[in-house]
Amino acid sequence: MKDAVASRIWMSIVVATVAAFGGSPLARADAPSNGEDADSHRGRVLQVGAYHHRVGQYASIQAAVDAAQPGDWILIAPGTYHETGSVTDGVRITTAGIHLRGLDRNGVVIDGTFAGSATCSADPAAQNSGPGGAGRNGIQVFQADGVTIENLSVCNFLGGSAGGGNEIWWNGGDGSGVIGLGSYHGAWLTASTTFYSDANSASYGIFASNARGPGVIEHAYASNMSDSSFYVGACPDCNAVLRHVHAQNSPQGFSGTNAGGHLVLEASEWDHNRVGIASTTLANDDRPSPQDGACPGAAGRSCTSIRFNYVHDNNAPNTPGAGIAAAVPTGTGILMSGGRNDTVRDNLVTGNGAWGILLNDYPDGTLGYCTGGDAFFSPPPPFDQILGPVIPCYFHSFGNRVLDNRLAGNGGFGNPTNGDLANAALDYPVGNCFRHNADVGGGTLTTAPAELQDAGVAGVCGAAWVGDPLQETELFLQLVCDAYGPGSGACAAPNQYPTQTTTTLLPIPHERGMPHPCDGVPDNSWCEER
């Protein structure tokens, strides 16, 4: 599809957002941050660096954070800050209700390289991966409610033997299975890296875990991660919104492990990743599983929604990649794996080489925390030959609704089942449904199984799913082939999926910053009218 056509359709999605939500998202882009609550106006302003020849009280961000009290603002002057706030973090925030704001999104850079290095240097000798290569995070908000982070960039914080590699992280208790964080807000943020190695890579760009919200991440860009640019996970009822964000050159533009309840991804762009958006169920320490988009206490209603997004050209095998994220099916726009009761609607999905929108059961190879899955599941023939005779934890995909999306140019890899829509699921009492999705140019959508939107296949929501074994077998084989390559035994010539040959990083772009960084900040010497 030509760029001009895609742009016109994307603008129509923006207009649809206006109609649906009663206000212009483009106008909201110029609005003050929602961090400007009543309590924040009563806080002090702590200044870091020097701005307009006026020197602040603090030379480092961590020193200001350590001095801050709930409701205080920390303003950061333009500059490169090589922070070492703790052994694991550049900046570590444990005080609730503080507001961290840069005065220039592109000019305030929290940099994980060694002090004295050029800003976001790609030089291997400049990389600081922590003591013994254990790994470091950029900004970590640890179990502190109401912290806002705005209008700055973070780069080159790398993971290692003990974890790390998260550029901006609201952490409510990673791996604990317990919700330990409430509200959070991030806006006008950039998270990326210029360095990758097999031992030390940046893992997540902007990351929220084990949080009950309400949380908002907006007007943000992330790229070059080895797992995902944006992540929300380990929250059965996330109460989170991602909007006006842009994700590039990661295995997953968005990853949401066991993230459900009230969760919205809207009006954003996801491109040149391996997978644009990946919502997944896993039996891992991001417990509790499963990923379930149902509204808490309202059976039959879906509160997890992926809507009004532009998801295109996610065909990039040479992104960084590590762990399970390196085995996502390259060429997929929106992937809903092992989840249930989600809604995918009113998105523009184009140019993805394998599948535009793919829903699939997920056979987890570890028993782990198999809540909501079938432990020691034996697939019926012939699927046992593809998935294995006994699966430690099997998550059925069901109750998802794929509605009113516009698609074009998907399936360009040309393998069997590649196309616009696909449903890789074993028979189940409640199926997924596909309705009113359409080709951008008015043509016929390509689907697997064929005629997926017909009432007799999956065009009726709430009906049982009974798949065609021959078509489903081929679809499962193609999915395994794409994810795991020829070594999986699932690929039959002439299957062609791109495989990684090198690791490519995109330059960190110059992004639009907060229009008025002093808006809402209490009176201070840096925000006087000039």
Beta strand spans in 234-303 (E): 240-248, 252-257, 263-266, 269-271, 275-280, 294-295, 298-302
CB 69 within 8 A of CB 44: yes
Q: Beta partners for 394? A: 363, 374
Report which DSSP code applies to 398.
B
- Residue 160 CA to residue 163 CA, distance in Å, equals 5
Which residues is 170 bridged to in the sheet? 141, 208
Bridge-partner residues for 202, per DSSP?
Answer: none
Contact 524, 101 (CB under 8 A): no
Residue 223 forms beta bridges with which residues? 248
Q: How far is CA 187 from CA 50, 168, 216, 302, in A?
A: 23, 11, 8, 27
Residue 412 is classified by DSSP as T
Among 2.60.40.1220, 3.20.20.70, 2.160.20.10, 2.40.10.410, name the CATH number for the domain at 3-488: 2.160.20.10
- Tokens (6 digits) for 230: 């944006």
Question: Structure tokens of 460?
Answer: 């009726």
Query: Which of the 8 DSSP states describes residue 83?
Result: -
Query: 163-164 and 438-439 as β-strands: parallel, antiparallel, unpaired?
Result: unpaired
| 54 HSE (CA, 13 A, CB side) | 11
Q: If we measure between CA atoms, which residue out of 438, 440, 439, 458 comes closest to residue 448?
A: 458
- Distance CA(323)–CA(408), nearest Å, equals 31
* Nearest-angstrom CA–CA distance, 528 and 474: 66
How far is Cα 267 from Cα 306, in angstroms, rounded to an integer?
Answer: 9
pLDDT by residue, tens only, the chain of 530 residues = 445 455 555 555 544 443 444 433 323 333 334 444 434 346 999 999 999 999 999 999 999 999 999 999 999 999 999 999 999 999 999 999 999 999 999 999 999 999 999 999 999 999 999 999 999 999 999 999 999 999 999 999 999 999 999 999 999 999 999 999 999 999 999 999 999 999 999 999 999 999 999 999 999 999 999 999 999 999 999 999 999 999 999 999 999 999 999 999 999 999 999 999 999 999 999 999 999 999 998 878 999 999 999 999 999 999 999 999 999 999 999 999 999 999 999 999 999 999 999 999 999 998 889 999 999 999 999 999 999 999 999 999 999 999 999 999 999 999 999 999 999 999 999 999 999 999 999 999 999 999 999 999 999 999 999 999 999 999 999 999 999 998 888 998 888 899 999 999 999 999 999 999 999 999 999 998 54
* Nearest residue to 381 via CA among 417, 427, 430, 338: 427
What sign does the dihedral 516-181-207-357 (CA atoms) show? Answer: negative
Secondary structure class of 357 (helix, strand, coil): strand
Using DSSP, how many helices (H) and how many strands (E) does the chain show? Answer: 5, 39
- Give the chain's largest Cα–Cα span: 75
For residue 313, give both structure tokens: 């050209």
**Residue 345 in tokens:** 């609607």
Rg of the chain, C-alpha, whole Å: 23
Q: Which helix (H) or strand (E) holds 18?
A: helix 3-21
The edge-to-edge listing of strands for the beta sheet with 362-364 is: 362-364, 391-395, 374-377
Q: Which tokens in the block code for residue 312? A: 């295109």
How many whole angstroms separate alpha carbon 97 and alpha carbon 43? Answer: 10
Is this prediction's pTM over 0.85? Answer: yes
Cα dihedral 15/16/22/24 (nearest 10): -30
Amino acid of residue 233: G
Would you say the C-alpha torsion 102, 219, 249, 320 has a positive or negative sign?
positive
CA distance 242 to 178: 22
Tell which residue, 383, 362, 382, has the closest CA to residue 374: 362
Strand, helix or coil for residue 190: strand
3-state secondary structure of 31: coil
Phi-psi region of 318 (alpha: psi -120 to 50; beta: other; left: phi over 0): alpha
* Beta carbons within 10 angstroms of residue 160's beta carbon: 18
* Residues 458, 441: Cα–Cα separation, whole Å: 23
Whole-number pLDDT of residue 6? 54
- What ranges do the domains of the chain cover? 3-488
- State residue 529's pLDDT score: 59
- Residues with Cβ within 8 Å of residue 212, at least 6 apart in sequence: 172, 179, 181, 182, 235, 237, 238, 239
Strands 163-164 and 159-160 turn out to be antiparallel
Query: What is the bridge-based pairing of β-strands 240-248 and 215-223?
Result: parallel
81 phi/psi in degrees, rounded to 5: -115, 110
Task: Report the distance separating Cα 422 and Cα 33, nearest Å.
Answer: 39
SS3 percent helix, strand, coil of the chain, rounded to 5, is 15, 35, 50
